[in-house]
Amino acid sequence: MARTTADLLIERLVEWGVDTIFGFPGDGVNGIFEALRTHQDAIKFIQVRHEEAAAFAACGYAKYTGRLGVCLATSGPGGIHLLNGLYDAKCDGQPVLAITGHTFHDLIGTHFQQDVDLDRLFMDVAAFSERVMGPAHVINVVDLAVKTALAQRTVTHVTIPKDIQEWTSADESRSSGNVPGHSADLFEAEHPMPSSARLQKAADLLNAGSRIVILAGRGCLAARAEVLELAEKVGGPILKPLLGKAVVPDDSPYTTGGIGLLGTAPSQDAMEECDTLLIAGSSFPYLEFYPKRGQAKTIQIDIDASRTGLRHAVDVGLVGDCRKVLRALLPLVKQKSDRRFLEKAQERMKKWNHLMEKRGTRTDLPLKPQVVAHELNKLLANDAIVSADSGTIATWAARYVQIRGTMQFSLSGTLATMANSLPYSIGAAVAYPGRQVVCIVGDGGFTMLMGEVATLVKHGLPVKVIIFKNNVLGMIKWEQMVLGATPQFGVQLQPIDFAAYARSCGAGGFTVDQPAEVASVLRQAFAHPGPAIVEAVVDPNEPPLPGKITTEQAWHFAEALAKGEPDRWNIIKTVIENKVREVI
């Protein structure tokens, strides 16, 4: 029996090891859906409620498995809806293949219904974007799309006109140049290694330094042992951008936690005082948090040569996989006996952790978001997969989720888009059915794709979703005040009963607004056998203060209050209480 173009597409994906596709149906992909129906024994289709969620889920799947994520959408608006999630994958370097439909091949460009030129639309987001022209073309295109996504850790795109999806191999003669079987479903990752001379030059800088900082990003997620060994040898602290949060456990004596606006004061102190910086697998974008020019000798390890020196001037660039490069570098690094720089960082970290504990155990009202995050952390399994959204929620996740064991953590790092966390959790739960999966999200981000609670219920995914509800777009509110020196405007949200909504979808729904009840409510939600939503009603005037506040930030904050910030007295009261807790 002759196979259709769509059959060949799905069978080739299966041969590539793809076992899951996230998507949403439409008449522009009917042929592909028929192929999915007839190949259900080999590949799962996870129906979401919005195409954007499909792209996010594919990105989350790629982040947590290291494998290719695949999403599917119909022609025109369906493909357009994928874009935000695909840009998230592109910005965070994740291999994702997007498959879209197109209108009839002989009506393209004639203003027909849903006639959007998706192969051109995707040219920026996708490193490879191609239109399939027939059954003899599809395998060649799919192979190159998969290889490009994996090799470049990026997004690729294949679009197939709706009628071509149903063409069979008997309908079309192959060109003489298209030799059958010439394209292979084979990918071999090849990473360069720096020369011995460059490794020695990097080691010489590390050996000469006395105050060394290691900035370990997502490229080091598979290099925990090597990063810890290097920190021990050089006597320097490990600073973690959020995408690298899971590189080392947060209780390690070698780490001072995060860096940046959401990071810790000890990390920023260490960065300001170091004389040598090793950047490993990170493109942390906030330039103001790096050492001042000329302050520190800098070595950078990155798998992408174009990223070396991108954020900070480097003295030595080492191109290659972080784990392999560190293994080659470690024998050349001498053991340092002077531990004063590390010990100073450790003492500062003890004080920081004490401060976080105090803020996380407050009993005053309204309920503080730190209390929810603090209690949630206690319930996380040693192999939990935690996805956080963008906004103030990222601050609480960064500071209170303590990485331990084989936990995984991610969020939208570079794009910093809202609404990623729930679909990420769908991708994680599908990939790892037996593991605890937790979504940490604000009410603003949750409402953008809240229909995906129905996706959790439909597919029996026991994700626990913790919503920090303050009825305001919190991060934007504080950015208006602290960065723009203006009162908040346009950020208030209409309240929604999220617990009732969860129950209406068939999930567990819980609400908490009392500090004394947070632990018990969270335990009830985690004991619920399926997906569950916890609506934590928290103080909208609790600011996500940076680890270290600059003079400019303080002045902008004061200016915003003076211009008529409507919540200024409650904000002043909260900020004063926080500062008092730091010194008592």
- Look over the chain and give the mean of its residue pLDDT values, rounded to a whole number: 93
Return the pLDDT at 573: 54
- Structural domains in the chain plus CATH codes: 5-166 (3.40.50.970), 196-346 (3.40.50.1220), 361-583 (3.40.50.970)
Return the pLDDT at 46: 98
Q: Can you read off the two tokens belonging to residue 560?
A: 């915003």
What whole-number distance in Å separates Cα of residue 315 and Cα of residue 73? 46
CA end-to-end span of the chain? 79
Give SS3 for 450. coil
What whole-number distance in Å separates Cα of residue 389 and Cα of residue 127? 26
409 with 386: CB under 8 angstroms? yes
Tell how far CA 140 is from the center of its chain: 31
For residue range 169-188, list pLDDT tens digits in order: 766 667 767 778 777 777 87
**Where in 482-531 does DSSP place strands (E)?**
508-512
Task: Tell me which residue has tokens 């900035």.
Answer: 215
What torsion, rounded to 10 degrees, do the Cα atoms 242, 246, 249, 250 define?
Answer: 20
pLDDT for residue 579 is more than 50: no
Pick the range with the lowest mean pLDDT from 108-112, 179-183, 228-232, 419-423. Answer: 179-183
pLDDT for residue 384 is more than 60: yes
**According to DSSP H, which parts of 21-134 are helical?**
30-38, 51-65, 77-81, 83-91, 118-121
Ramachandran assignment for 362, one of left (phi > 0), alpha (psi -120 to 50 degrees), beta (any other): beta
Pick the range with the lowest mean pLDDT from 175-184, 233-242, 512-521. Answer: 175-184
Rg (CA), the chain: 25
Give SS3 for 499. helix
DSSP secondary structure, 160-217, as one string: EETTGGG-BTTTSPPPTTS-TT-S------------HHHHHHHHHHHHH-SSEEEEE-
How many residues appear in the chain? 584
Of 131, 67, 143, 55, residue with least CA distance to 91 = 55
Ramachandran assignment for 313, one of left (phi > 0), alpha (psi -120 to 50 degrees), beta (any other): beta
Burial 170-204 (b: 16+ CB within 10 A, else e): eeeeeeeeeeeeebeeebeeeeeebeeebbebbbb
For residue range 256-302, list pLDDT tens digits in order: 999 998 999 999 999 999 999 999 999 999 999 999 999 999 999 99
Q: How far is CA 446 from CA 118, 335, 494, in A?
A: 28, 48, 13
Say if strands 464-469 and 532-537 run parallel, antiparallel, or are unpaired. Answer: parallel
Q: For the chain, how long is the longest CA-to-CA vector?
A: 82
Return the pLDDT at 562: 56
What whole-number distance in Å separates Cα of residue 419 and Cα of residue 227? 32
**pTM reported for the whole predicted model:** 0.94
Task: Tell me which residue has tokens 């004490």.
Answer: 354
Q: In one letter, which amino acid is 461?
A: L
